[in-house]
Amino acid sequence: MGSPGDVLTLISAGSATTRSDLARLTGLARSTVSQRVDALIDCGLVEETTGGESTGGRPPRQLRLRTEDHTIAAVDLGATHCRVALTDLGGTTVATAEDQLQIAEGPQAVLTHVKKRVDELLGERTLTAIGIGVPGPVEFAAGRPNNPPIMPGWNDYPVPAFFPDVPVLVDNDVNLMALGEHRHAFPGTRHLLFVKVGTGIGCGIVAEGRLHRGAQGSAGDIGHIRVSGHEEAGCRCGNSACLEAVAGGAALARALGVESGAEVVALVQQGDVQALRAVREAGRLIGEVLAGLVNFFNPEVVVVGGLLSRVHDHLLAGIRETVYRRSLPLATQHLTIVPSRAGVDAAAWGAGILAREHYLSPDNINRLVSACEDV
Amino acid sequence: MGSPGDVLTLISAGSATTRSDLARLTGLARSTVSQRVDALIDCGLVEETTGGESTGGRPPRQLRLRTEDHTIAAVDLGATHCRVALTDLGGTTVATAEDQLQIAEGPQAVLTHVKKRVDELLGERTLTAIGIGVPGPVEFAAGRPNNPPIMPGWNDYPVPAFFPDVPVLVDNDVNLMALGEHRHAFPGTRHLLFVKVGTGIGCGIVAEGRLHRGAQGSAGDIGHIRVSGHEEAGCRCGNSACLEAVAGGAALARALGVESGAEVVALVQQGDVQALRAVREAGRLIGEVLAGLVNFFNPEVVVVGGLLSRVHDHLLAGIRETVYRRSLPLATQHLTIVPSRAGVDAAAWGAGILAREHYLSPDNINRLVSACEDV
DNA sequence: GGACTTTCGCCGATCGTCGAACAAAGTGGC
DNA sequence: GCCACTTTGTTCGACGATCGGCGAAAGTCC
């Protein structure tokens, strides 16, 4: 407690804007706080401005994180798209790009494309860290996809090695969506689930405010949990009655005789009764699985996102109906089930947060400050 | 890092038995380590003995936790029983007692009984902390049962207030079983599930080596998750097709026409084919639910305990069969499913561990050491 | 028995933090 | 507009904790 990193955390979170705030929050002496702040200013991490409001005495100098010198690249790789966003250290987006890109083209081709896009967007800015979301399980510590089903050629590929000069954080896209939603909409919440209903169905888990990735980085893979009464539905995983095979966007599209989940959404928006009924029923099936997970995990909040959440009125109705019927009263008592606020940018938000929190973590800041003092 | 509490943690865990070990592990100077050790000795927490093995020079003095001055009470309250065990700070059991006791008699009667038993067993020993397991959800921080279904009169009762002179840690019994199994059999494991198959069915969750209790302390309540194809089975919770209603000990007993889960176990041990088949089928149903939870949580180890695990050959066969069929290969790749090693003492073990870890936590030790120095 | 190794206490040097004193920069009353 | 008061920020000496070197203790090994 009280290291330069901790001080910066308070400043960047907005919990403290003056030296007095810091002294109060950390319990350190004013002189010590000043020394810490000076070190952070010398490293170019913090900036001082005059013009604070006086509270009856000398007005305090305002402290703020120097967000503009560092740029974070947030990359969201889907099965068929690539979104790149640049943000500053404060989380403000400064540039974005979006392309169609088949992840199945393999890591070399895809990452070359990503690097090119990032460099174009960067211009004169300096890159500080990269966060990348991919549609499959990842061994997080190493940044290697772990047997991803829809990413041929990516298994065990060391993504960070492709960007040798900056820290690279790679994670599953659904995890990142959960992280983004947690930090933006429910920052104080301890336990949260994010359910992504797109072509497939996945779930991101936030426990004690941190991502739970599981032993193999495959936690949250709820698409192949069995649902009652749909033994006829075969799934690409080889089993039958999987949630994804009956309630995923692809399954709905097939049932309604259209091409994609997007067209299902379009049908619902046009008021197609059959599509509407199908989405609501999908919500019920997802709710059945979710009811079990709510009993098991006991979260405070469940966020529903992904393509199909664009018609969340009907999807959520089905989910809520089943969860509140099948989960135990104690677990649902204070449970909130809400649609995602981030929409299509959820994964990119999360990727940016992951990279930003890595760079701004107390340990990393302490390293930077010591390195800077040694010069 | 390096506080007296951290030093004691290394000693009590057995990671360090000499001052040299401590210097190496903490990175502190030898002189500083000696100072820390002296403080711990002055407080009576650590003891020095000669007779260490030389490694070519002066033989080191051995350090060990003084386990004998402090006594931990571990209490396991079930629906109809009360087990009390006293252990020293090292976890060695020094006395036990077991009674029939109806938890439904309410907190006053039950806790009076517990206090009496603890005092009897204690004799001249001094009590340091109490851990108590109860068969229902608990708001852990406050030690209050939270809407427990089979503990009438206990709702919101502040258990710690009944023992005003010592720290009291109260938790759900299944959580404690999970904790006990984790610390004893799988200490290095990050993510573990403990499934208790008794009259009902519950689950304890260890994530990142720590208990996950959920928002209302009801996490792990998997007994009322729906299983396929048993719509006819009504459950006491008001729904139907709950796991507990088809695979719990009570359900099996009813199906086999006997009184209790214990009799079901007896039938299996006698080789009754019908009972054997029923247990195996119960295993399959539990496995179906567990398969989903394995996908969701991605643990490294699943431990199966509780009454019915006494016939774990047949139960585990059913569980393994279904989990390995219905879970994703990535999640089962390195998954171990094993029977509990603790048996009937699992909850008491966990209660003791909870209390011991509380007392030996770095923060608490630091407090004790400062208090002792001030004298 | 002597050279070497490892352990351990002692003690001066060093580093980090604290808090008092002082300077700076405002507010508000008269 | 001046002066008392408040809050902010810096400087500096004091204090405490840690470090690391030195020497003594207690062994091993040749």
Structure tokens at A198: 């797109």
CA→C1' distance for A35 and C15 (Å) = 14
* Residues in contact with B161: Cβ distance below 8 Å, sequence separation at least 6, in sequence order: none
- Is A35 within 7 A of strand C by CB distance? yes
Per-residue pLDDT reduced to its tens digit, A27-78? 999 999 999 999 999 999 999 988 777 788 899 999 999 999 999 999 999 9
What integer pLDDT is reported at residue B375 of this predicted model?
63
What integer pLDDT is reported at residue A54 of this predicted model?
79
Identify the residue with better confidence: B355 or B229. B355
| pLDDT confidence band for A236 (50 / 70 / 90) | confident
| pLDDT confidence band for A373 (50 / 70 / 90) | confident
Contact A224 B334 (CB under 8 A): no
CATH number of B71-173+347-359: 3.30.420.40
Per-residue pLDDT reduced to its tens digit, B109-132? 999 999 999 999 999 999 999 999
- Contact, A138 vs A131, CB < 8 A? no
Residue B56 buriedness (CB in 10 A; 0-12 / 13-18 / 19+):
exposed
- Contact, B218 vs A333, CB < 8 A? no
What integer pLDDT is reported at residue A300 of this predicted model?
98
Q: Mapping DSSP to helix (H, G, I), strand (E, B) and coil, where does residue A69 land?
A: coil
CATH number of A4-66: 1.10.10.10
| pLDDT confidence band for B236 (50 / 70 / 90) | confident
A117, HSE (Cβ side, Cα atoms, 13 Å): 25
Q: Using an 8 Å CB-CB cutoff, list chain B residues near A334.
A: 215-216
Q: How far is the alpha carbon of B292 from chain A, nearest alpha carbon, in Å?
A: 5
Contact B295 A218 (CB under 8 A): yes
CA nearest neighbour of A141 among A105, A113, A115, A169: A169
Asked whether the domain spanning A186-342 has the same topology as the one spanning A71-177+347-360, the reply is yes
CATH number of B178-343: 3.30.420.40
Would the pLDDT of B370 be above 70? yes
How does the average pLDDT of chain A come out, rounded? 94
In angstroms, rounded to a whole number, what is the distance separating the alpha carbons of residues B44 and A300? 44
| Closest residue of chain B to A136, computed from CA coordinates | B330
In angstroms, rounded to a whole number, what is the distance separating the alpha carbons of residues B374 and B39? 11
Structural domain spans, chain A:
4-66, 71-177+347-360, 186-342
Q: Which CATH superfamily is domain A186-342 in?
A: ATPase, nucleotide binding domain (3.30.420.40)
Would the pLDDT of B50 be above 90? no
Q: How far is the alpha carbon of A246 from chain B, nearest alpha carbon, in Å?
A: 15
- Is B54 within 7 A of strand D by CB distance? yes
Contact B296 A293 (CB under 8 A): yes
Contact A226 B228 (CB under 8 A): yes
Of B216, B295, B328, the CB nearest to A333: B216
Per-residue pLDDT reduced to its tens digit, A204-215? 999 999 999 999
Of the candidate CATH numbers 1.10.150.120, 3.40.1000.10, 3.40.50.2300, 3.30.420.40, the domain formed by A71-177+347-360 belongs to: 3.30.420.40
Would the pLDDT of A375 be above 70? no
